[in-house]
Amino acid sequence: MKSKFLSILLCSVGVLLTLYFTNVFLTQNFQDDGESYMKGFGHLLQENITKGILFVIIQNLLLCYFISMCIFLQVPPNNRKNAHKILFATAATILFVTISYTIYQLYNVYSNGYDRIDRIIEIALTWTSRVLGLYLGYWLSNYKTKLPKA
């Protein structure tokens, strides 16, 4: 019981620190203290593509990592395999939809003159980073360390 509370507390601190430091990054690197973030990630990419991509990846990856780590640490180790099956099916569906959407929108860019390439990049990066964060949380929650015997 104590270890579950501690894991929830540490993951909550991780989420809060991620939000705090990404907010600091926004205010220091984007105009008007990152006001374009309130409009959406795509607007960050319009303002500064390199820093916007870095922001999108880091924020989504770390938030999903801490949240999934918290969830997987609450699941008993013998039931994590079942949770992995559900996670794999969900992740595969999300990635399939994301890749399909990206291909469809890239087709629209080249054929119909759709000019929101930053929106396409943002959606692809957001969902790919989230899926990677979920898998990172699952992988690290199953990581077992062997302590040397004294």
Q: What is the pLDDT of residue 146?
A: 43
The identity of residue 148, as a single letter, is P
Q: What is the pLDDT of residue 128?
A: 94
pLDDT tens digits for 43-53? 888 888 898 89
Split at pLDDT 50, 70, 90, the class of 127 is very high
User: 19-28, 45-54, 71-80: lowest mean pLDDT where?
Assistant: 71-80
The two structure tokens encoding residue 65: 């990592």
Q: What is the pLDDT of residue 77?
A: 77
Give the pLDDT mean for 32-53: 83
Go through 130-149 and write b for each residue having 16 or more CB atoms within 10 A of its CB, e for each that does not.
Answer: bbbbbbbbbeebeeeeeeee
Task: List the Cα angle 109/110/115 in 5-degree steps.
Answer: 30
Q: The dihedral of CA 98, 101, 107, 113: what is its sign? A: negative
pLDDT tens digits for 76-124? 877 877 888 888 899 999 999 999 999 998 888 888 877 778 888 899 9
List, as own/partner pairs, every contact residues 27-35 make where C-beta atoms lie below 8 angstroms and the sequence separation is at least 24, other chains included: 29/55
Residue scoring higher pLDDT (12 or 80) = 12
**What is each CA distance from 15 to 38, 45, 60, in whole angstroms?**
19, 23, 11
